[in-house]
Amino acid sequence: MKKQEKVEFVINKLEELYPEVPIPLDHKDSYTLLVAVLLSAQCTDERVNKITPKLFQLADNPFDMANQEVEKIREIIKPCGLSPRKSKAISELSKIIIEKHHGNVPSNFLDLEELPGVGHKTASVVMAQAFGHPAFPVDTHIHRLIYRWGLTNGKNVEQTEKDCKRLFPKELWNKLHLQIIFFGREYCKARPHEPKKCPICTMAGRASLFN
């Protein structure tokens, strides 16, 4: 199966399995999404969704969050892991959003990536899911699948993101990102992984007889 055939197969299979894809992290606006995505680093979305209701009850906007003690934020988010770093980042980015952006989450990559605790992947998720800007957020899980499917030889998420943006139509990026997440959780887990039972690896994966 040639690479472009794989691309078409992946697009069609994901659309067949996941015609509608909800955003996994519970949020009500760009600010709460930004905080939720930051918390999801090295933490499951399920756990984040259990913690954010209490956090957002305390403060669900940068003005209220900036007034909270970092230690109070830390105590709430502790189950997410990396709580010292994350709580400090949430406090600091809230103050910067107020001081530099009039209380609004910036809607461009440059300003987002300047916020404490916000890397390119987090910024990409916010740009795609909060502002509808075409982006293809790639974390280690998406990197694993794209590599398994033989669509990248990249050794890191940066190269895999470039390959995804080159191979997939721009208008599909935001939805594909979510579809791949859901597919990975249901069919293409890190361990155990059985290619013969995976609807995509069976036909388009590196171990496939169709390569």
Q: Compute the distance between CA of residue 161 and CA of residue 143 in angstroms, rounded to an integer.
A: 8
Q: Compute the distance between CA of residue 58 and CA of residue 65 in angstroms, rounded to an integer.
A: 8
DSSP string, 27-78: -SSHHHHHHHHHHTTTS-HHHHHHHHHHHHHH-SSHHHHHTS-HHHHHHHHG
At 163 the three-state DSSP class reads helix
Q: Which residues are catalytic?
A: 121, 139
